[in-house]
Amino acid sequence: MDQNLQTIFLIIVLAPLAAAAVVGLLMRFVPRAASHWLTIVGVGISCVLSLYVLWQMTFAGAGTENVTVYTWGIADGVHFQVGFLVDRLTALMISVVTFVSLMVHIYTIGYMHDDPGYKRFFSYISLFTFSMLMLVMSNNFLQLFFGWEAVGLVSYLLIGFWYTRPTAIYANLKAFLVNRVGDFGFLLGIALVLTYTGSLDYADVFAKAPALSGQTIQLFGAHVWAVPTVICILLFVGAMGKSAQVPLHVWLPDSMEGPTPISALIHAATMVTAGIFMVARMSPLFELSNTALSVVMVIGAITAFFMGLVGVVQNDIKRVIAYSTLSQLGYMTTALGASAYAAGIFHLMTHAFFKALLFLAAGSVIIAMHHEQDMRKMGGLRKYMPITYWTFVVGSLALIAFPGFSGFFSKDTIIDAVHESQRAGSGFAYWCVLLGAFVTALYTFRALFMTFHGKERFTIEAGHGHGHDDHGHHGLTHPPKESPWVVTLPLVMLAIPSVVIGWITCKAVLYGGYFGSAIYVSPSHHVMEKLGEEFHGSGAMVLASLTSPTLYIALAGVLVAWFCYIKRPELPGAIAQRSKFLYRMLANKFYFDEINAFFVAGGARALGTALWKGGDTAIIDGVLVDGSARSVRWFAGILRRYQSGYLYHYAFTMIIGLCALLGWLLLK
Amino acid sequence: MTAHFPILSVLLWLPIVGGLVVLAAGRVAPTSVRWLALLFSLVTFAVSLPLWTQFDTSTASMQFVENIPWISTFNVHYALGVDGIAMPLILLTTFMTVLVVIAGWEVIQYKLAQYMAAFLIMEGLMDGVFSATDGLLFYVLWEAMLIPMFIIIGVWGGPRRVYATIKFFLYTFLGSVFMLVAIIYMYVQSGSFDIQTFQQMPLGMTAQILIFVAFLLAFAVKVPMWPVHTWLPDAHVEAPTGGSVILAAILLKMGAYGFLRFSMPIAPDASQSLTWLIVALSLIAIIYIGFVAIVQADMKKLVAYSSVAHMGFVTLGFFLLFMIFGKTASVSGTAMGVEGGMIQMISHGFISGAMFLCVGVLYDRLHTREIKAYGGVINMMPAFAFFFVLFAMANCGLPGTSGFVGEWLVILTAMKANFWIAFGAAFTLFLGAAYSLWLVKRVLYGPVGNDHVADMKDISKREFLILGLCAIPVIVFGIWPAPLLDVMHASVMNLVHHVVQSKL
């Protein structure tokens, strides 16, 4: 039984890797159809087995599995190992990852149909699935870091998938570098863990965690810091990079340069939630530091509200959803900060389904519009593409937490948990997440209305006969049409959990102690327990929402969106005119990009040039190296004059010397 | 004198003999030169393999030893032997020489026999440096190595090769002269040139400081450490591809090897008291040079500067030992830094070698190293792009590649010594990615940059072979560094325990 499970874990991880390797390395020899079949079968195997593991863990009473696969290396007595820790938290994560990945694989057949990089794309997304599984199944920090960087690598490759586009290759470099800033903190955090616990295995570290709480470290001057606080804040810096929290969020909107399937898989459903998962996994450490958790909560709340605001003024349909993802990641982070880890992970799961759905639906629209992403050139698409429309509606309702839809159960719980929390910063965070609900509804329905309702703002130029490659051209050669079944099937498959997953699992995941020992909450941080006392089932929760402010705040957002974009479409322009400062702040995304480009990128180049030209070239080479060569030549030049070879020079010198010597003797 | 097969002597002399044979063949049968050179380099590599397979990982003492009196008046011995520190470096040498021979296959047209001979002779001398256990023999081989390298850069180099060779020669020669003084001093004191004797002999603090500084001058130039690094970018830029590969992959390692073989064990107290200096210079190399690398306009200069930054990790890892011991008075946790530094040496050999080979592939096509002259190369050379991205990722220390292992171990160790040292070292995460991937972006990605790029042909089978051969160890040691760590472990532990014993 255990042996079986261990074999299954290996297959889960290796099946996508094998498929990626075959398709990627033997690309020339693998036929086009084989590339998608191989990878789909690989990920399909992983998905089925993951669901089996989830079933075993949830219903068949299988316990936590902690297995070592091989020893990576032994340095100085520290065993670095590669292995799996699979408990219910992991089982849930691998099921979500492989399911969404499978849907995206199928969808890609349709979306990338005409792309010359078809095979390369399948190889990359399978490689991504492998990396993500390594990350979430790890039982130690080394493998966690491996997975962490590997997903970053694949994200880099996929954002820059269309490598001839200047914007894409700018975005992928930016994404990698910003993530490296986060990894900087992450790695230091891991190093501190090793320094203070002597191990990098989760089980060892967590067992020794309580002993950390009394220890202190001196960083600046005489002030001492609690070790858990420093460790957790550093680890969280890593999470801020990967899960795109302010101020390291800047890479995520730009990552939309990648093809839409990966926006759904990597930049919405899975990779960006790695930070959330990591913090939940590290709950035994984070629970030791109220300071660190306050930082987590406040950063999350700022991201949740302010990034949502930016989403309101975006016109690119993918960017709206991207800012929405930032905002929702902020919600998850806020939940972690409130010690409501279960709620954070629950929102991670529901969000994975409905956000992947929204992205893929947006992708379906983009195909129909011949790669036009500007919503100002859409409108009225509802009648052309009914399946896309209705699945988009489902995703939207889930996103705005409409009672009954999956997002409702997770997001309302987060808002309640933050309300309940007594931690420093929770007051601020509560207002952020509450007002965030209004903003969410506003941008979501703005996108829905601008895309699918109202007047058609595109023209159909019949009979012009320009080819498929005319992307970005405003006119379409034929009316937009519904996408093929490989595209719509995943939409429907994702729409189902977007509706029902909350109903079914809410009670167990949030209040039933589903995660067991996987998530540790200190008894004094019992936010979820308190909420649990008021919880009387999913149905009751839906009913109770009718009397809570959250629902009406969200409905107000929908109403405002309807008024501004359906009823009086001229209004938004007028508002933007009136409040220029606010509009400019939002349209320029609070100027984060400009500040980074100037200070960070410009600063690094200026410093590099100064050190090179000033340090290496001028001082070291100019003064010291060539300078010493020059001084040798100069000195030799002087010496040379004394060896002129003329007899009378020497004779004169001798006479002068003789005179001087005699004079000195006489005068003495 | 032992009766076994003198494997180390063969590794020293076979390539040198091979070099002479190739030289002779160049006059008689020029067409056979390539195959002869390849044959000799392959046989040498094959001979070196038993060093690994028959290596006893349980002992720290010298293995495969040979010892014959050489100049008995001065008690000089022709003494060879390897431990876990030297052995991997010898294999790296024999492996990289094979690649260099293949890399020069069609590229070198001018004085081909001399070119191949220079590299073969170089190989023998380098093997000798890593296996010499006699101080004078070490010194002789160390200096002899300069000659073939001088010729390689001077004859097959670029337009400013004269400036570069003279700078290279004077710099390294000046440094090693002081080393000779130190070696002679210790001979006078101990009556022997045996390195092991040097390591065991008691020395006062003043003598230790002087010896340490003398060795530091020799090794710091070779590594190279800031601020004596400026010869390296010039030498790399002017050197032919093969020269750059050997320079980066092997020659730089000699300095770091010297620290482990001479400076630290011979002058442990001086090392302890001057640790702050080495750590500071290493951090300057990592951060300062990292920034300098970002703004380079010449591909080879960029890779050269990145070499300096990566070698900073090697010296940092070695000397953290003293810092941690000074703080905790215990050797626990110190060996990880030394092992990290050594892994970094091996890994950097493959990665920097591969990076220079990649630059060479581009140079052979467009005859320029200016980054500006490229752009969108991936459109024409997808297979090359695969390798280039792989090695660039390894260069910025991506987990799963060997470039990660050393940096990881050193940063973990640095945290034990001091938070801020780890903080400084971790800058490599950002800087390494910045210079490596910005290079990738400007060279590979984007639309086809110009007509010259549009004419570029993807890598040939020969080029595929050499890049593939580099890629294998980069990935294997990335996902499984255990074999390397095992080989080093006993020797490193022995070293660590030795150097924390005061000689005063």
Q: Rounded to a whole number, what is the distance in Å from the CA of A143 to chain B's nearest CA?
A: 9
Q: How do B76-82 and A224-226 pair as beta strands?
A: unpaired
- Radius of gyration of chain B measured on its C-alpha atoms: 22
The reported pLDDT for the residue numbered A142 is 94
Is the pLDDT confidence value at A466 over 50?
no
Cα nearest neighbour of B227 on chain A: A620
Is the pLDDT confidence value at A580 over 90?
no
The reported pLDDT for the residue numbered A462 is 60
Q: Rounded to a whole number, what is the distance in Å from the CA of B287 to chain A's nearest CA?
A: 10
Q: Which residues contact A283 (CB under 8 A, 6 or more apart)?
A: A341, A519, A520, A521
Interatomic CA distance for residues A394 and A353, integer angstroms: 11
Lowest mean pLDDT among A128-137, A610-619, B150-159: A610-619
Supply angle C-alpha B244, B246, B247, rounded to 5. 60
Among A74, A153, A190, whose Cβ lies nearest the Cβ of B393? A153
Measured between beta carbons, the chain A residues lying within 8 angstroms of B444 are: 163
C-beta of residue B175 within 8 angstroms of C-beta of residue B182: no
pLDDT band at A62 (very low <50, low <70, confident <90, very high): confident
3-state class (DSSP) for residue A86 = strand
C-beta of residue B376 within 8 angstroms of C-beta of residue B448: yes
The reported pLDDT for the residue numbered B129 is 95
DSSP label at B59?
-
**Predicted confidence (pLDDT) per residue in A505-564, tens digit:** 888 888 877 888 888 888 888 888 888 888 888 888 888 888 888 899 999 999 998 888
The reported pLDDT for the residue numbered A630 is 81
Lowest mean pLDDT among A104-108, A583-587, B356-360, B372-376: A583-587
Cα nearest neighbour of A24 on chain B: B386
Among A164, A217, A612, whose Cβ lies nearest the Cβ of B292? A612
The reported pLDDT for the residue numbered A516 is 81
Q: Rounded to a whole number, what is the distance in Å from the CA of B446 to chain A's nearest CA?
A: 4
ipTM, two decimals, is 0.93
Distance spanning both ends of chain B, measured CA to CA: 34
Angle separating helix axes B299-328 and B231-238, nearest 10 degrees: 140
Dihedral angle at the C-alpha atoms of A218, A220, A221, A223, nearest 10 degrees? -60
3-state class (DSSP) for residue B67 = strand
Measured between beta carbons, the chain B residues lying within 8 angstroms of A195 are: 412, 415-416
Chain-chain contact of A77 with B433 (C-beta, under 8 angstroms): no
Is the pLDDT confidence value at A646 over 80?
yes
Chain-chain contact of B400 with A149 (C-beta, under 8 angstroms): yes
Interatomic CA distance for residues B166 and B163, integer angstroms: 5
The reported pLDDT for the residue numbered A2 is 67
Taking CA atoms, A184 is separated from A180, A241, A608, A640, B401, in Å, by 6, 10, 20, 58, 18
Which residues, in sequence order, are bridge partners of residue B82? B63
Tens place of pLDDT per residue across chain B (504 aa): 445 789 999 999 999 999 999 998 888 887 788 999 999 999 999 999 999 999 998 988 899 999 998 988 888 999 999 999 999 999 999 999 999 999 988 888 888 889 999 999 999 999 999 999 999 999 999 999 989 999 999 899 888 888 888 888 888 888 888 999 999 999 999 989 999 999 999 999 999 999 999 999 999 999 899 888 988 998 999 999 999 999 999 999 999 999 999 999 999 999 999 999 999 999 999 999 999 999 999 999 999 999 999 999 999 999 999 999 988 888 888 899 999 999 999 999 999 999 999 999 999 999 999 999 998 999 999 999 999 999 999 999 999 999 999 999 999 999 999 999 999 999 999 999 999 999 999 999 999 988 888 889 999 999 999 999 999 999 999 999 999 999 999 999 999 999 988 888
A116–B contact, CB cutoff 8 A: no
DSSP label at B329?
S
Q: Rounded to a whole number, what is the distance in Å from the CA of A511 to chain B's nearest CA?
A: 38
Chain-chain contact of A149 with B441 (C-beta, under 8 angstroms): no
| DSSP labels, A178-190 | HHHHHHHHHHHHH
Rounded mean pLDDT of A412-432? 91
Q: Rounded to a whole number, what is the distance in Å from the CA of A265 to chain B's nearest CA?
A: 22
A176–B contact, CB cutoff 8 A: yes
Is the pLDDT confidence value at A15 over 80?
yes
Chain-chain contact of B433 with A188 (C-beta, under 8 angstroms): no
Position B265, amino acid: P
Chain-chain contact of A72 with B293 (C-beta, under 8 angstroms): no
The reported pLDDT for the residue numbered B3 is 56
Q: Rounded to a whole number, what is the distance in Å from the CA of A426 to chain B's nearest CA?
A: 31
The reported pLDDT for the residue numbered A465 is 46
Average pLDDT, chain A: 88
The reported pLDDT for the residue numbered A475 is 63
Beta strands in A383-456 (DSSP E): none
Chain-chain contact of A625 with B167 (C-beta, under 8 angstroms): yes
Among A73, A173, A625, whose Cβ lies nearest the Cβ of B485? A73
The reported pLDDT for the residue numbered A538 is 83
**Predicted confidence (pLDDT) per residue in A296-315, tens digit:** 999 999 999 999 999 888 89
C-beta of residue A23 within 8 angstroms of C-beta of residue A33: no
**Predicted confidence (pLDDT) per residue in A467-515, tens digit:** 444 444 456 778 888 888 889 999 999 999 999 888 888 888 888 778 8
pTM of the model: 0.92
Cα nearest neighbour of A161 on chain B: B445
Cα nearest neighbour of B321 on chain A: A76
The reported pLDDT for the residue numbered A470 is 44
Taking CA atoms, A427 is separated from A309, A432, B70, B454, in Å, by 20, 9, 83, 60
Cα nearest neighbour of B335 on chain A: A76
Position B387, amino acid: F
Measured between beta carbons, the chain B residues lying within 8 angstroms of A77 are: 332
Position A214, amino acid: G
Chain-chain contact of B482 with A217 (C-beta, under 8 angstroms): no
